């Protein structure tokens, strides 16, 4: 199994955590999003992932190899094929709550704050760094308010006494927020969940600073 990844990609970060938690043997294949215009735009990578984004997960299948894209789809696949330890709660209602928090980050924050969106705002629309920083902080702050209200956090993790998809989404987004100096004092539960997760070896091994392509 090969994970095509970029060390600062929050979507790839989520999948790295899941692979570590489930103790799945895998190889990391760094894809530099900036060198020579971006390795994700090269024909050989586009042949693997037509969307030209990371992560992509290559898995062996009878007669060859298949590549999965989109972090949420990859996480669902890993949960189905490698169910132990589970990253979704057993109760359907709680599973829906976990997926809702994951969706807030994956669908309502990440698309507005990823490198492609920010590059378009800067290059095509002529927005400066200050505008980009305000844009980034606005969408994180707006959606972290909802996440803060929805999570439990009493057992250290977002919903239960073990990590779930919610934690896998929260931790990379907190990393991004801190990287862009977004204030987090209004979100004590989120900050506490992040701190608790960072004490877990699987999360720490997935951290951007721990990756082979970290700059």
Whether residue 24 contacts residue 78, with contact meaning beta carbons closer than 8 Å, is answered with: yes
Whether residue 146 contacts residue 169, with contact meaning beta carbons closer than 8 Å, is answered with: no
Q: Given this model, what pLDDT does residue 130 score?
A: 78
Please tell me the distance from the alpha carbon of residue 128 to that of residue 132, in angstroms, as a whole number: 6
Q: Given this model, what pLDDT does residue 41 score?
A: 92
Q: Given this model, what pLDDT does residue 119 score?
A: 75
Q: Which domains does the chain have, with CATH numbers?
A: 2-84 (3.40.30.10), 92-203 (1.20.1050.10)
Please tell me the distance from the alpha carbon of residue 91 to that of residue 89, in angstroms, as a whole number: 6
Q: Per the structure block, which two tokens stand in for 173?
A: 């987004």
Q: Given this model, what pLDDT does residue 28 score?
A: 98
**pLDDT < 50 stretches in the chain:** none
Q: Given this model, what pLDDT does residue 14 score?
A: 98
213 Cβ contact list (under 8 Å, min separation 6): 5, 6, 7, 30, 32
Q: Given this model, what pLDDT does residue 114 score?
A: 74
Q: Given this model, what pLDDT does residue 129 score?
A: 76
Q: Identify the helix (H) or strand (E) that includes residue 5.
A: strand 2-5
Q: Given this model, what pLDDT does residue 125 score?
A: 75
Sheet holding 27-30, edge to edge: 27-30, 2-5, 56-61, 64-69
Please tell me the distance from the alpha carbon of residue 95 to that of residue 88, in angstroms, as a whole number: 6
Q: Per the structure block, which two tokens stand in for 203?
A: 């999360």
pTM: 0.93
């Amino acid at each position: 199994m090969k994970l095509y990844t970029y060390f600062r990609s929050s979507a790839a970060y989520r999948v790295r955590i899941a692979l570590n938690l489930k103790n799945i043997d895998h190889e990391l294949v760094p894809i530099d999003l900036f060198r020579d215009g971006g390795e994700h735009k090269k024909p050989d990578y586009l042949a693997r992932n037509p969307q030209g984004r990371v992560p992509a997960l290559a898995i062996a299948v009878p007669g060859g190899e298949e590549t999965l894209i989109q972090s949420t789809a990859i996480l669902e696949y890993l949960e189905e094929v490698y169910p132990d330890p589970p990253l979704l709660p057993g109760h359907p209602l709680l599973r829906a709550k976990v997926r809702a928090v994951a969706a807030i980050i994956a669908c309502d924050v990440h698309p507005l704050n990823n490198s492609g969106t920010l590059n378009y705002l800067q290059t095509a629309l002529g927005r400066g760094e200050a505008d980009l920083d305000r844009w980034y902080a606005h969408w994180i702050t707006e959606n972290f308010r909802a996440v803060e209200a929805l999570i439990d956090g009493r057992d250290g993790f977002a919903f239960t006494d073990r990590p779930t998809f919610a934690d896998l989404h929260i931790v990379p987004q907190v990393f991004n927020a801190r990287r862009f100096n977004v204030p987090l004092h209004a979100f004590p539960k989120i900050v506490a969940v992040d701190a608790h997760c960072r004490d877990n070896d699987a999360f720490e091994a997935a951290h951007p600073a721990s990756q082979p392509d970290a700059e």
